[in-house]
Amino acid sequence: KLLRKYSGYLSSLKQEFSKKKKKGKLPKEARQILFEWWTAHYKWPYPTEADKIALAEATGLDQKQINNWFINQRKRHWKPAENMHFSVMDNSSTSSLFADD
């Protein structure tokens, strides 16, 4: 009796859930391609716009997914080299730190 009463409602709910985008892991093949790029560019894992377009074509993902994967990957797994901080600073400021006055 209940099932008959709510069957239309239940089927419409089922349709709604099936329409929604499924969250979760990216396809294994796509992750593998992104990871290969990551390991090849580990010292500076910031893909250019051209890289992102090429990765999107190779993986079948959209650029937002590519961006999010790299953001998450850098947060979770990337430790910039210590000496990178000094290379960003100009020489005059670093030399003044070590100068004997």
Domain enclosing residue 45, as ranges: 22-98
59 within a domain of the structure (yes/no): yes
Q: What CATH number does the domain containing 65 carry?
A: 1.10.10.60
6 within a domain of the structure (yes/no): no
Q: How many domains does the chain have?
A: 1
The answer to whether residue 87 scores a pLDDT higher than 60 is no
Choice among 24-28, 45-49, 78-82, 83-87 with the minimum mean pLDDT: 83-87
pLDDT digits (tens, 9 = 90+) for 29-59: 999 999 999 999 999 999 999 999 999 999 9
pLDDT of residue 96: 47
57 within a domain of the structure (yes/no): yes
4 within a domain of the structure (yes/no): no
Please name the residues in contact with 73: beta carbons below 8 A apart, sequence gap of 6 or more: 34, 38, 45
